[in-house]
Chains A and B, each alone.
Chain A
Amino acid sequence: MSKLSLDQDVLRKIRTRTRRRFAFTTIACLFYSGYLLGYVGLKDLFAQTISPGSYVTVSILFFCFLIVFFIALEFLYLRISIAEGKEK
């Protein structure tokens, strides 16, 4: 089957989904690479505590944030996919 023989509506839907897949992946990879900043560019920031007198560092907070953020991102992606499935 060639590209031209695919229904244009189907092709448009596939492109929309593919763009969404890559958009979500890019967001995930960007935030993930932020973890590396704790070892290079933002070393001082990541070593700081979140407030005076606290022992919780930005790096520990960022670790927790990443886990919660990625789960939320997945949840959002799934909601969109499921909603799209229902529309179809």
Chain B
Amino acid sequence: MGLNVQLLFLGIVLLFSNSTQAAGTITGDIERQPLNWSAISMFLVFVFATLIISYWASKLTRTSGEFYTAGGQLTGLQNGAAIAGDFMSAASFLGITGLMFVGGFDGLIFGIGAFVGWPVMLFLLAERVRNLGRYNFADVVSLRLEKTSTRIISVFGGIVVVIMALIGQMVGAGKLIELLFGLPYETAVIVVSVLVIAYVSFGGMLATTWVQIVKAILLMFGATVMALLIFINVGFDLNILLEGASSNHPLGEKILRPGILFNDPIQIATIMVSMLFGTLGLPHIIMRLFTVPTAQEAGKSAFYASTFIGYFFLLMILIGFGTSYFLIGNTEYFGVDAKLIGGNNMAAIHLSNALGGDLLAGFMSAVAFATILAVVAGLTVAASAAVSHDLYAQVVCKGKPDPKEELKITRLTTVVVGLIAVSLGILFQHQNIAFITAMPMVVAASVNFPVLFMSLYWEGMTTRGAIMGAMVGLALSLGLTIIGPQVWVATLGFEKALFPYNYPTLFTMPLAFLAIWFFSITDQSERAAADRDNYYSLLKKAEFGN
């Protein structure tokens, strides 16, 4: 999802800002397309199939544990495919392709940033987190620390990430579906929400998992077909593709190297840090590690996920440069204003039309819609677990809830989250949401990741250190984003930003670590001594699972 959120941000930037105009004459604004019946028909087939999956999953989801973790019996391959389905969004497909259409190679930076989170997830977190937790990352953090306060702070960090991600997804969904299907914004938002409520409230994590797996397969299949058609058209010669793309593009061979969209090294560094460490702190991604039975399978999940995601990004090189090769100069895809019809985010769909006609374009549009459903479903499960498991079962009921009541609350929370998602989607419809869609990665990297990492690897961390670190990370993430270009200039209308970077993670994450360290080493309370003592029993369990 990290990637989903990030690229939705990019999509929104492409849709709402003038930043792409710097790249030349290729630019575009959002405009609703005519009703696309082939795409709608294929999407209805997907919906029918996934509703059957949800019905099947509902028969197997009888307890809250089964709801949160799909029974914990998925294989590494299944979970890896589901993670890839959660992570490779419509916006990663449409957003990266749109960015490459405008700025060539630079568009790939978000791809590599999100991808590299997975090896690090495997090396540092996957096995230890799986051995320590039950349902989500709050379980892991609260294991050695004072349970109620650390669980509340973990839930708060998780909910902030999920809500901001949901806003980004819903607004992005409304806009993209308007573009792809020609459906009104509100209809799109409501359709997404109703379907997600149906998947999640009945089938829980099991239905969500299979929706994500089906979607991952469809997306990779569609991208593979597009890449193959591109290769066939250029005689399986990458040089011909790149030569044609650069000769068509107004910026020429510059699109084949870094530097068109991004020039400031610190901006690039802070984007790279946000993408990498944000991925490691996303609650709904970490939650997926508990759907497999062992730590080894959790490790395999991360490996399979990165294999699928890596393959997808390799295809994006062909598809991204393919847009310049096949679209530029083809008047069929440009309006009278010389802009790409529907805006730059439509580059991938136009390319699929150029390569495979209405059939392929309809298929890829349907996949984009399906993708949004899969991502929102993952977020909804995470939000439901945070409320019903962490707040209700662990905080309110002190770890001894009535199982039937917990499941009922979980399902009710799902419906409430769905309604909130619709409301936020409509509320933020006309707002500049670029900063909100960038926030989940920044908050995840600056709040969730430092606390999770230190609880796993530092003997000295105390409850006070964890809480202060999370608060410092959250306050700085919000504060620096507000005085940064996206809010201070683009939203509030000031002339110059007080903080120059859109992604403050390069600064906020180290300061969160520093706060954890400082407030832990200065903590001489009895609780602190117990926190430190707990570390070694946790360490043994983290590595050996018992």
Stretch of B35-43, B208-216, B252-260 on the interface side: B252-260
The reply to whether A28 and B116 contact each other, CB–CB distance below 8 Å, is yes
Q: Which residues of B sit under 8 angstroms from A2, Cβ to Cβ?
A: 533, 536
Which residues of chain B are within 8 angstroms of A59 by Cβ–Cβ distance?
Answer: 105, 256-258
Task: Report the minimum CB–CB distance from B107 to chain A (whole Å).
Answer: 11
Contact A70 B116 (CB under 8 A): yes
| Known contacts A43-B259, A54-B239, A57-B105; A74/B306 CB under 8 A | yes
Instruction: Give CA–CA (A29, B120) in the complex, Å.
Output: 8
Question: Which residues of chain B have C-beta atoms less than 8 A from A18's C-beta?
Answer: 457
The CA of A29 and the CA of B246, in the complex, are separated in Å by 31
Contact status of A46 and B536, CB under 8 A, knowing A28-B119, A64-B314: no
B268 at the binding interface (Cβ < 8 Å): yes
The verdict on A36 contacting B543 (CB below 8 Å), with A47-B257, A74-B119 known, is: no
For B303, the chain A residues whose CB sits under 8 A away are 71, 74-75, 78
B306 touches A70 (CB 8 A): yes
Q: How would you classify the secondary structure of chain A's contact residues: helix, strand, loop or mixed?
A: helix
- List of A residues within 8 angstroms of B108 by Cβ: 63
Which of B314, B533, B539 counts the most A-chain CB atoms under 10 A from its CB? B539
List the A side residues contacting B238 at CB < 8 Å.
55-56
- Alpha-carbon distance A49/B257, docked complex (angstroms): 9
Are the CB atoms of A74 and B302 closer together than 8 Å? Answer: yes
Q: B536 contacts which of A3, A64, A71 (Cβ < 8 Å)?
A: A3
Nearest A residue to B257 via CB reads A47
Q: Beta-carbon contacts of A1-34 to B below 8 Å, as 1s and 0s? A: 1110110001001100110011011001100110
- How long is the Cα–Cα vector from A85 to B297 in the complex, in angstroms? 12
Q: Do B257 and A36 touch across chains, with their CB atoms under 8 A apart?
A: no
A29 to chain B, nearest CB (A): 7
A31 to chain B minimum Cβ distance, whole angstroms, is 8
Alpha-carbon distance between A5 and B540 when the two chains are bound, in angstroms: 11
B310 cross-chain contacts in A, Cβ below 8 A: 67-68, 70-71
User: Which residues of B501-519 are within 8 A (CB) of A?
Assistant: none
Number of interface residues of B (CB under 8 A): 51
The verdict on A14 contacting B258 (CB below 8 Å), with A66-B116, A71-B310 known, is no
A88-B212 Cα distance, complex, nearest whole Å: 35
Q: Quick one: closest A residue to B245, CB to CB?
A: A55
CB-based contact A1/B116 at 8 Å: no
In the complex, the answer to whether A39 meets B257 with C-beta atoms within 8 Å is no
Q: How many residues of A contact B (CB 8 A)?
A: 48
- Do B536 and A5 touch (CB < 8 A)? yes
- Judge if B162 is at the interface, Cβ distance under 8 Å: no
CB contacts (< 8 Å) of B183 on chain A: these are none
- B112 and A66 contact, CB distance less than 8 A: yes
Q: Which of A1, A40, A43, A46 is B533 in contact with, Cβ under 8 Å?
A: A1
Given A63-B108, A81-B299, A56-B242 contact (CB < 8 Å):
yes
B152 within 8 A of A: no
Contacts of A5 in B (CB 8 A): 536
Docked Cα-Cα span, A75 to B300, in Å, equals: 9
A49 CB to nearest B CB, Å: 8
Q: Which residues of A contact B299 (CB under 8 A)?
A: 77-78, 81
Nearest B residue (CB) for A58: B257
CB contacts (< 8 Å) of B116 on chain A: these are 28, 32, 66, 70
Question: Which of these binds chain A: B121-129, B344-352, B443-451?
Answer: B121-129
The answer to whether A36 touches B306 (Cβ under 8 A) is no
Chain A min CB distance to B261 (Å): 11
CA A28 to CA B277, docked complex, whole Å: 13
- Minimum C-beta distance from B375 to chain A (A): 22
Q: Is the CB of B122 within 8 A of A77?
A: yes
Q: Does B317 have its Cβ within 8 Å of any Cβ on chain A?
A: yes
Complex contact B253–A55 (CB within 8 A): yes
Q: Are B317 and A64 in contact (CB under 8 A)?
A: yes
Residue of A nearest to B303 (CB): A74
Contact of B276 with A by CB under 8 A = yes
- The answer to whether A60 touches B112, judged by C-beta atoms less than 8 angstroms apart, is no
The listed residue (B272, B296, B536) touching A6 by CB distance below 8 A is B536
The reply to whether A55 and B242 contact each other, CB–CB distance below 8 Å, is yes
* B521-546 residues at the A interface, CB under 8 angstroms: 533-534, 536-537, 539-540, 543-544
Residue in A22, A46, A74, A81 whose Cβ sees the most chain B Cβ within 10 Å: A74
Return chain A residues, CB-CB under 8 Å to B427: none
Cβ of B405 < 8 Å from any Cβ of A? no
User: B63 within 8 Å of A by Cβ?
Assistant: no
Nearest CB to that of B534 among chain A residues? A1
A17 & B258 in contact (Cβ 8 Å cutoff): no
Instruction: Tell me whether B314 and A82 are in contact (CB under 8 A).
Output: no
User: Known contacts A66-B116, A70-B115; is A46 also within 8 Å of B457 by CB?
Assistant: no
Task: Enumerate B317-346 residues with CB–CB distance to A below 8 Å.
Answer: 317
Q: Is the CB of B119 within 8 A of A60?
A: no
Q: CA–CA, A51 to B531, complex, Å?
A: 58
Could you write out 11 A-B pairs with CB less than 8 Å apart?
A1-B534, A6-B536, A29-B120, A33-B272, A39-B262, A67-B314, A68-B310, A70-B116, A70-B119, A78-B299, A82-B296
> What are the 9 tightest A-B residue pairs by CB atom distance, in nearest-first order?
A55-B242, A1-B537, A47-B257, A67-B310, A38-B258, A24-B123, A40-B265, A70-B119, A1-B536
B interface residues, Cβ below 8 angstroms from A:
105, 108-109, 112, 115-116, 118-120, 122-124, 127, 238-239, 242-243, 246, 253, 256-259, 262-263, 265, 268-269, 272, 276, 296, 299-300, 302-303, 306-307, 310, 313-314, 317, 457, 459, 533-534, 536-537, 539-540, 543-544
Given A28-B119, A55-B242, A70-B306; 19 other pairs, CB 8 A cutoff = A1-B537, A6-B536, A6-B539, A6-B540, A18-B457, A22-B123, A28-B120, A29-B276, A35-B109, A39-B263, A55-B243, A56-B242, A59-B105, A63-B108, A66-B116, A71-B303, A74-B302, A74-B306, A78-B299
